[in-house]
Amino acid sequence: MTVRFLRAAATMAFPRGRLLAMRGSRAYLLAVDGWTGLGSSSTSSAQPLSREAATRWCAEEGWAVELLDQVPGDGVW
């Protein structure tokens, strides 16, 4: 199943936003311990990112780019 990447709005704690991923109907947030399921939380305010932009975001924020390939499958938390 295809993964779509998004960037959450900037906050004081995360001035460059946070990386989100959508696989099927599930949203995931990239957290310190990996991808965390958001359940049915809305991602309507998040900006879509291409795979290349998500790769740049990871590199600039110090995250391993390989995490982009580790988004859980639908139904996996």
Check whether 5 has a pLDDT greater than 60. yes
What pLDDT does residue 44 have? Answer: 73
Match 């359940």 to its residue by tokens: 39
Q: How far apart are CA 25 and CA 29, in angstroms?
A: 14
Match 């990996």 to its residue by tokens: 34
19-68: per-residue pLDDT in tens? 999 988 889 999 999 999 886 656 678 899 999 999 999 999 999 999 99
Question: What's the pTM?
Answer: 0.84
51: part of which helix (H) or strand (E)?
A: helix 51-61
What pLDDT does residue 38 have? Answer: 86
The domain ranges of the chain are: 3-69
Closest CA to 25 of 38, 36, 9: 38
Q: Which two tokens stand for residue 54?
A: 């998500």
